[in-house]
């Protein structure tokens, strides 16, 4: 894999679609490829998307912007998008830019699935 290459893999895990980011999510490697995968899954009716970043080596401001756009797009489709397996270096960047507050970030896919399952069991909050 070259230093600025981005590879995406997609698979199912329980009720979720998992999009694995491999390589670098940067201006040099990405032209809304993650967002395109998210949109395709939303159009197919998927409502739980996990972005697994375990093999993501680097993210720049363009990559952060793409993740935020994917999150907003998911919310507009009444879907949930969560980040999983975020490397410490990238997690630090998300905190430094304050973007981490927008996302639900889980250590593992299983933790994200468990949280989604408990949220669907309890349902939305009751209206006042």
Total structural domains in the chain?
Answer: 1
Give the list of residues 6+ apart from residue 50 with CB closer than 8 angstroms, or none.
13, 16, 17, 18, 19, 81, 82, 83, 84, 109, 112, 113
The answer as to whether 98 is a domain residue is: yes
The answer as to whether 31 is a domain residue is: yes
Q: pLDDT of 103-128, one tens digit each?
A: 999 999 999 999 998 887 655 544 44
CATH code, 54: 3.30.750.24
The answer as to whether 124 is a domain residue is: no
The answer as to whether 62 is a domain residue is: yes
The answer as to whether 92 is a domain residue is: yes
pTM of the model: 0.88
The answer as to whether 127 is a domain residue is: no
Mean pLDDT in residue range 91-103: 95
Q: pLDDT of 19-42, one tens digit each?
A: 999 999 999 886 789 999 999 999
Quick one: pLDDT at residue 2? 46
The answer as to whether 104 is a domain residue is: yes
The answer as to whether 1 is a domain residue is: no
Q: Over the range 97-113, which residues count as b (16 or more CB within 10 Å of their CB) and which as e?
A: eebbeebbbbeebeebb
Q: In which domain, by residue range, is 13 found?
A: 6-118
* Across 55-64, 82-91, 114-123, least confident range: 114-123
């Amino acid at each position: 894999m070259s230093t600025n290459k981005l590879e995406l893999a997609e698979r199912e895990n329980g009720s979720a679609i998992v999009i694995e980011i491999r390589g670098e999510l940067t201006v040099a490697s990405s032209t809304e490829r993650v967002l395109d995968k998210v949109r395709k899954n939303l159009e197919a009716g998927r409502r739980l998307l996990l972005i697994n970043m375990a093999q993501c080596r680097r993210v720049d401001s363009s990559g952060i912007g793409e993740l935020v756009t994917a999150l907003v797009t998911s919310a507009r489709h009444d879907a949930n998008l969560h980040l999983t397996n975020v490397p410490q270096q990238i997690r630090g960047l998300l905190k430094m830019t304050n973007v981490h507050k927008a996302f639900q970030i889980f250590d593992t896919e299983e933790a994200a699935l468990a949280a989604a399952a408990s949220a669907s069991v309890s349902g939305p909050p009751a209206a006042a």
